[in-house]
Amino acid sequence: MPGRLVVIGEITRTHGLHGEVRVRPLTDHPERFARVTECVLWDAARDRRESRRITAARRQGDAVLVSLEGCRSAADASVLVGWLVALPEAEALPLAPGHFYPWQLEGCRVLREDGRDIGRVTGIEPGAAQDLWIVAGDGREHLIPAVPEIVVDVDLGARRVVIRPPEGLLEL
């Protein structure tokens, strides 16, 4: 299964005796689980992926209970705890113009307004107030708060982000 995946949930535990799993949604649209019929289960720690059919999904509070083809018992479900529920990148929900998914930033060059190169986005660290973009360059790693006062421009087509870092941010 080549290709980039978009993670929409994480299997957190089993549910009941008949193989259901409890999924923590990692999407702003958890209702989409009810419309997904095929997914990729991804054990990111071992980079193991397997296609699986979703046979049923229903909300339970903040979680989604999911039934997967071939998962008939609590023992079957227990081996999937910690796995991610993902879709091919092509199935990501479209966004409004000017918006982007955090994973789309990975690999983008990060520059100051004056054109000086800072590095490349290597990851996103979710935060309580705002996400922190992890930018690696010149043997250092910087955490850039994803706020409009700092992020001046994001051009996904050019794979470029322009920032206006406050005094001292890049020296931390």
Q: Where are the domains of the chain?
A: 5-90, 102-166
> Which residues is 58 bridged to in the sheet?
65
Output the pLDDT for position 62: 93
Residue with the larger pLDDT of the pair 20 and 98: 20
Q: Mean pLDDT of all residues in the chain? A: 91
Residue 18 contacts residue 73 (beta carbons within 8 Å): yes
Q: Which homologous superfamily is 102-166 in?
A: PRC-barrel domain (2.30.30.240)
Q: Which homologous superfamily is 5-90 in?
A: RimM (2.40.30.60)
Cα torsion 36, 38, 16, 62 to 10°: value is -30
The pTM of the full predicted model, rounded to 2 decimals, is: 0.69
Percent of the chain with pLDDT over 70: 99
Residue 132, pLDDT > 80, answer yes
Residue with the larger pLDDT of the pair 102 and 43: 43
Distances in Å between the alpha carbon of 128 and those of 1, 39, 103, 106, 131?
A: 34, 29, 18, 21, 8
Residue 2 contacts residue 26 (beta carbons within 8 Å): no
- What is the C-alpha to C-alpha distance for residues 14 and 8, in angstroms, rounded to an integer? 18
Residue with the larger pLDDT of the pair 52 and 128: 52
Q: What pLDDT, in 10s, does the model give residues 85-107?
A: 999 988 888 877 777 877 789 89
74-78, 143-147, 168-172: lowest mean pLDDT where?
Answer: 168-172
Output the pLDDT for position 1: 42
Output the pLDDT for position 97: 77
pLDDT bucket at 135, cuts 50 / 70 / 90? very high
